[in-house]
Structure 1
């Protein structure tokens, strides 16, 4: 099977922005050739609470769900093309969730590669 380019960014949670500490909580992957955009997340509550014992876990889970809805074209992303949604999600922001730098890779199956990256970079 032919491998094609994709772009990805690690989704990071920063429970106390002023401290600059963060944990990886997911991966966002976009493949133009495969018409694919998806986020896969895993929130390790113990790791999050190690950074901030008073972290609002439910609010962070809700924000992660919003990333999934945006990937699917819901909410404010309605009508946006996949590439536009990806660029919107990886744009710099000062919120509890943010995307790290965008990286490139090659894969035959974006869904499989997304799972591999989550295991490697988040879990």
Structure 2
């Protein structure tokens, strides 16, 4: 088993109200050399929560987080060589529409499967 840390990405359409929807997860496992983001934007749910929210802008922010995880640079993205540095940048508090929640931890043998499990548990709405 390998230790990992994760953070839930929150959609905060009005930072002054401090209300949010969970829209993604970033998982970092140093021992497995793994850093990845997964997200799912339920347009109907966001529309009910924040009708004037710019969904394309939110998708762009979520894709930027994914790009940082993968070490992409340019287009205003930070340049960090190590995954731990990139995770640190992602979890830094910010006052934007997409914000990281608190950092949590766990143990896993399969970080990719754990990322999907966390996305299903913390982001996806039960459609049953």
TM-score (norm 1): 0.94
- Structure 2 unaligned residues grouped into runs of 5+: none
Change in CA separation of 1:79 and 1:89 when aligned onto 2, cut-off 3 Å: closer
Displacement, 1:47? 1.5
Verify the 8 A CA contact 1:70 1:85 in the aligned structure 2.
yes
SS at match of 2:24: strand
Q: What corresponds to 1:103 in structure 2?
A: 104
Task: Find the aligned partners of 1:119 and 1:11 in 2 and give their Cα distance.
Answer: 13
Displacement, 1:78? 3.0
1:61 pairs with one of 59, 62, 67: 59
Equivalent residue pairs, number:
121
Matched, 1:90 2:91: yes
Q: What corresponds to 2:27 in structure 1?
A: 29
Q: What corresponds to 2:18 in structure 1?
A: 20
Verify the 8 A CA contact 1:15 1:55 in the aligned structure 2.
yes
Verify the 8 A CA contact 1:21 1:51 in the aligned structure 2.
no
- 1:24-59 deviations in whole A, cap 9, x for unaligned? 001000000000000000011112122211110000
Displacement, 1:17? 1.3
SS at match of 1:99: strand
- 1:53-99 deviations in whole A, cap 9, x for unaligned? 11100000011110111001113333431000001100100000011
Task: Find the aligned partners of 1:46 and 1:14 in 2 and give their Cα distance.
Answer: 16
Task: Find the aligned partners of 2:29 and 2:82 in 1 and give their Cα distance.
Answer: 12
Verify the 8 A CA contact 1:9 1:101 in the aligned structure 2.
yes
Task: Find the aligned partners of 2:81 and 2:9 in 1 and give their Cα distance.
Answer: 20
